[in-house]
Structure 1
Amino acid sequence: MTDSHQVFEIADFPLDSGDTLAPARLAYQTYGTLNAAKSNAIVYPTAFADQHPDNEWLIGQGRALDPDRYFIIVPNLFGNGLSSSPSNTPAPHDRARFPRVSFADNVRAQHRLVTEHFGIERLCLVTGWSMAASQTYQWAISYPDMVERALPFCGAPRVSQHAFLFFEGVKAALTADAAWRGGDYDTPPETGLRAFGRGYAAWGFSQAFYWQERYRDLGFDSLGEFLTGFWEQNFLGRDANDLIAMLSTGQHSDPAATPAFGGDLTRALGAIRARLISMPAEKDLYFPPEDEQWAATHIRGAEVRVIPGIWGHLAGRGINPADVAVIDDTLRELLATPVD
């Protein structure tokens, strides 16, 4: 696998917010070869604070997402430091002045990459974790005739009010650092970034994960070591404005916001025609299974399969072999399922 990537540039890209990125730069990486019929394409977007190499745990020979069989496109989320982001966009949209970007904006740009650059008209699968699960739903809602199958895992069509408030908390911790300077920092707000990671620490895994001290499975001998060595380190080195921009995307995206749905999420979900399996994690504190079970009742033929265990939201991150096997097996089954 590789850290290299390619860029699809859109000269003038209007956003749902009313702003325009000129240009918008969508970074992406591909795995495998597009067949002559252009019928083997999969879109697998990135999640919050991730870049395309972070998706590679689910791609490989012998896996469901096998590059010997499929052409897998991994587009990077706007705001992640590779695609257009506060950290790499010149004025007037630099730093904290970067415009709000929605999941629908991301998916529109990805659709242009898929159709204009690759000439693909049908996708055999869209899948993704966390914020990429939200993009998966958006793909299936926005382009129902194009997406044959969808498998969102550890995510939801839109962020709940509960998760919205969590995002507000970690944003406040980050921006309280005096070095933040309204987003115009000269040096990274390290204290704020550490606080940001600590805010995530209690949410990413479940209570039972901590009761059983499963952080020892990841090589940490104490809770304190895990807090600093895993959670703080996960965000040190990230650009603070990029993190804020991606959280804003999650907080303010709504697939029902288009005039066709009039704000009614049930109508938006009802537009999905893909064969959809949703995979929430049993003890996910952000996206509990009951949320996805509700959503599935409004999607024709949708199925919910809960990832069992205690790894919470991080069950979808590729770090626990048992969870990886469950996700991979379900992807394999879904890809083998005929569609209309």
Structure 2
Amino acid sequence: MVVENPYYTEAVHGPFQLAGIGDLELESGVTLSNVELAYQTVGELNPAKDNVVLIPTWFSGTHGVMRDAYVGAGRALDPEKYFIVLVNQIGSGLGTSPHNRAGAFPLVSIGDDVVAQERLLRDNLGVERIALVFGASMGAMQAYEWAVRYPERVERLGVIAGTARVLPRQIIWTQVMTDALTSDVTYANGDYVGADAVKEGLSRLSWLFGLQLVGREVWLKEHWRGFGFDSFQGFLSGFLGASLAPMDANDLISQASKWSRADVSRHTDGDLAAALGRVSAATTVMAIRSDMMFPPVEVEPQGALVPGSRFLEIDDDFGHASLFGLTPSCNAQIDAALGELLERDRGAAQP
């Protein structure tokens, strides 16, 4: 059912373009017709077309969040040097998504996203090779998929706070998030009308984010006071709650479903080592010390399966929320890691 939602506009997320990439045959066997991808480019494509950086989005995020967190003059991802393509995943709310399509929305996978993105780059932007695919959280899952599916196209792979194969704890998490939304009586089996529906479910989701998205030290050290709040409840409602409140529940559920099924080893009959062994890109894998959603103990072992990969633990108190660029020290660590990665060549031995 089509739901008008003013949140999914340029007024909120900044400028973007819509690219029609035609019909997309999904991994489920269903065809999603007339697919549109929402994306933004920053910087200029050089004549050699070898300065492309691709950044896919994470759960609930859009190109605007990724741009503000990672792109800027003087930073590792400097638009004076690179042609940066920020692409919203299918179901993000921008471009083809459940809330703007009539009828039941089909099951979409991380692989479907990457096939769609490849078509966007090749057919719409004239890009064949990618200097860097950089992904955070659910964006990291797409980045891994890129490097496994198109190893000859990806020169460098940068991932932070994400895995190539979903782990059981993440599957539980995506189900709990989904239940928080579908248990709201106004969800009405997904047939709600109006952008003001499922508000209680979205509020419950913000409390769950308080448990998993935000690091323990935020609560123990009362870091939330630095954002102008005088209570943790105020931070929950004014920061996390306010961020989620305008979003569309069906869009979030579609994304959570993709997350719960992410697995590059489907290319190699379930052999994760074989799948990640296909990656020829120079690779840096990062995890955040305080992250409870994708803790280092879960991120590092999978990253180690990529030949020659380098692992780096980012020291920050904000947990998974560190990805939003909340602290200068965290930003500096990520920029340093990406800057070093961009100086490396495919196949170079890592320290």
TM-score (norm 2): 0.92
Is contact 1:10–1:22 with CA below 8 Å preserved after alignment? no
Per-residue CA deviations over 1:87-141 (Å, capped at 9, x if unaligned) read 11233xxxxx211111111011111111122222211100021111111111111
Contact persistence 1:127–1:136 (CA under 8 A): yes
Per-residue CA distance 1:26-64 (angstroms, 9 max, x = gap)? 111100110111111110111111111111121111111
Unaligned segments of structure 2, at least 5 residues:
1-9
Does residue 333 (structure 1) correspond to residue 340 (structure 2)? The answer is: yes
State how far apart, in whole Å, the 2-side matches of 1:338 and 1:171 are.
41
Partner of 1:254: 263
Counterpart amino acid of 1:87?
H
CA distance in 2, matches of 1:33, 1:10: 22
Instruction: State the AA in 2 paired with 1:164.
Output: I
Aligned to 1:239: 248
- 2:87 equivalent to 1:75: yes
User: Which residue of 289, 301, 321 maps to 2:308?
Assistant: 301
Letter in 1 for 2:84: I
Equivalent position SS for 1:186: coil
The structure 2 residue matched to 1:211, chosen from 217, 220, 230, is: 220
Secondary structure of residue in 1 paired with 2:313 = coil
- The aligned counterpart of 2:6 is none
- CA–CA separation in structure 2 for the residues paired with 1:99 and 1:325: 40
- 8 Å CA contact retained: 1:158, 1:250: no
The secondary structure found in structure 2 opposite 1:26 is strand
Please give the alpha-carbon distance, in whole angstroms, between the structure 2 residues aligned to 1:193 and 1:296: 33
SS of residue matched to 1:87: helix
Distance, in Å, in 2 between the alignment partners of 1:271 and 1:331 is 22
Say whether 1:263 aligns with 2:258.
Answer: no
- Is residue 152–residue 280 contact of structure 2 (8 Å, CA) maintained in 1? yes
| C-alpha deviation, 1:158, in angstroms | 2.4
Q: Deviations over 1:186-231 (max 9, x none)?
A: 2411111111111111111122221111111222111110111112
Q: Distance in 1 between matches of 2:322 and 2:19?
A: 31
Mapped contact 2:67–2:86 kept (Cα < 8 A):
no
The residue type paired with residue 40 of structure 2 is Q
Deviates more, 1:186-195 or 1:104-113: 186-195
Quote the sequence identity (%): 37
Question: Structure 1 296/215 Cα, relative in aligned 2: closer, same or farther at 3 Å?
Answer: same
1:119 is aligned to 2:130: no
Among 87, 98, 102, the alignment partner of 1:90 is: 102
CA deviations 1:216-257 (Å, max 9, x no partner) are: 122211111011111211110101110111101101121111
Counterpart-to-counterpart distance in 1, 2:15 and 2:298: 37
Aligned residue number for residue 280 of structure 1: 287
1:22 aligns to what SS in structure 2?
strand
Deviations 1:264-309 (A, max 9, x none): 1111111111110011101211211122221133211001100012
Aligned to 2:114: 107
Report the aligned-residue RMSD. 1.4
The equivalences for 1:125-204 within 5 A come to: 125-187=132-194, 188-204=197-213
Tell me whether 1:56 sits opposite 2:63 in the alignment: no
Query: Stretches of 4+ moved more than 6 A in 1?
Result: none
Corresponding position of 1:94: none
Unaligned runs of 5+ in 1: 92-96
Q: CA deviation at 1:329?
A: 1.2
Counterpart-to-counterpart distance in 1, 2:160 and 2:36: 26
